[in-house]
A = this chain, B = another copy of it.
């Protein structure tokens, strides 16, 4: 839905099966704001807060959200975890600590895949606060845990960073961006005829300049030059630029004093 100022809403096109994010007893407004920003970066908008320590609304949260104000304004405020999740039916609990509970522990991409495959509203991801994480009573309300594999010697994630990773994996699980793209604006890859023109131009002028004075080395030197130019994957524009560079160097005259 477009806003009244005519800008496209950041909620435009958000997926109704996107999981809710439940922050349990969050402490710092900055972290709530950064979590909201990370959510919206990844197409999530349903934020639920259980007893934020420093009150609500929070100006610090708003500033840290860097424009994700709407996520904060729409955030639900709850007294208990049970209230916050009452309308949901599948809860993942973010937890880094090893627990004695017999409950499946998903990696973030595995949780994301499971949510995408389920393809239903009603999912939530629950995060504990900065100091304590989730307690065992909260974990007992969850269907599964999600745990980010990290450097075991330093594995404590910032709250907003934990939200980001799970949200990012959810976004990525349905994202079709090619792994590697090569942008081509106003140009195209040089074809082999153009490349050959460059090679022969360079080699002819190097012959004229005496560069290949050890004749028996000429073939290997030519191959080396062709290989490195080939490796650069030149565009048609760049081939023309390089031919201009060769001409520029051939026209070199020592500066007059």
Query: Could you tell me which A residues sit within 8 Å of B by CB distance?
Result: 8-14, 34, 37-38, 40-43, 66-68, 98-107, 109-110, 148-151, 153-158, 160-161, 164-165, 168, 171-172, 175, 177-187, 235, 238
Query: Judging by beta carbons under 8 Å apart, are A34 and B161 in contact?
Result: yes
Q: 20 pairs across A/B with beta carbons < 8 Å? A: A9-B153, A10-B153, A14-B151, A37-B158, A37-B161, A40-B151, A41-B154, A41-B155, A41-B156, A41-B157, A66-B158, A67-B154, A98-B183, A100-B185, A100-B186, A104-B180, A105-B180, A106-B180, A149-B171, A165-B168
Query: Judging by beta carbons under 8 Å apart, are A156 and B66 in contact?
Result: yes
* A155 surroundings in chain B (CB, below 8 A): 41
Residue among B67, B160, B168, B183 making CB contact with A148, cutoff 8 Å? B168
Given contacts A40-B154, A105-B182, A149-B172, 16 further A-B contacts (CB under 8 A): A9-B153, A10-B151, A10-B153, A11-B153, A14-B151, A40-B151, A41-B157, A42-B150, A42-B151, A43-B151, A67-B156, A101-B183, A102-B185, A105-B180, A160-B161, A164-B164
Main secondary structure of the interface of A (DSSP, over half): loop
Minimum C-beta distance from A227 to chain B (A): 18
Query: Judging by beta carbons under 8 Å apart, are A180 and B37 in contact?
Result: no
CA distance A102 to B171 in the complex (A): 27
Minimum C-beta distance from A39 to chain B (A): 9
CA distance A161 to B11 in the complex (A): 21
Minimum C-beta distance from A81 to chain B (A): 22
Query: Judging by beta carbons under 8 Å apart, are A150 and B171 in contact?
Result: yes
**Given A153-B13, A158-B37, A175-B149, A100 and B183 contact (CB-CB distance below 8 Å):** yes
Minimum C-beta distance from A170 to chain B (A): 11
